[in-house]
Structure 1
């Protein structure tokens, strides 16, 4: 599903950033994909998808130990 219509970002892309690029914070998502940089309506949904992906990523190589503070 589309999370950010302004930038055309999907939940799949956000999950990919977590699983394959080690993204753990909204700031990193914003820098990498541009989510929540225009109208801001996607911020809550993007954060929810990020948190779900981090929870799924128990065995990822990314260090998600500090992700709860994001």
Structure 2
């Protein structure tokens, strides 16, 4: 399904951007160019973003793993 008709961006592309680290509409604008023209896609883009984002617990776990790895490299 098209999320942004102006830029021909699909929900699949939004999900891929989220999988690669996009966490906000600003990130999606930077990565995909959406919301730049008419802005009508903002609501749908937000829904796709929220439904595709990893749960906060997973993000926290990933952050802790990175921190632990960084600490062990310094030791």
TM-score by length of 2: 0.71
After TM superposition, what 4+ stretches of structure 1 lie above 6 angstroms from structure 2?
none
Larger fraction in helix: 2
**Aligned alpha-carbon RMSD (Å):** 2.0
Q: Per chain length, whose mean CA-contact separation is higher, i.e. which structure has more relative contact order (CA < 8 Å, sep 6+)?
A: 1
Taking the aligned partners of 1:22 and 1:49, their CA distance within structure 2 comes to 14
SS of alignment partner, residue 16 of structure 2: helix
Aligned length: 60
Structure with larger Rg: 2
Query: Unpaired runs of 5+ in structure 2?
Result: 64-75
TM-score by length of 1: 0.76
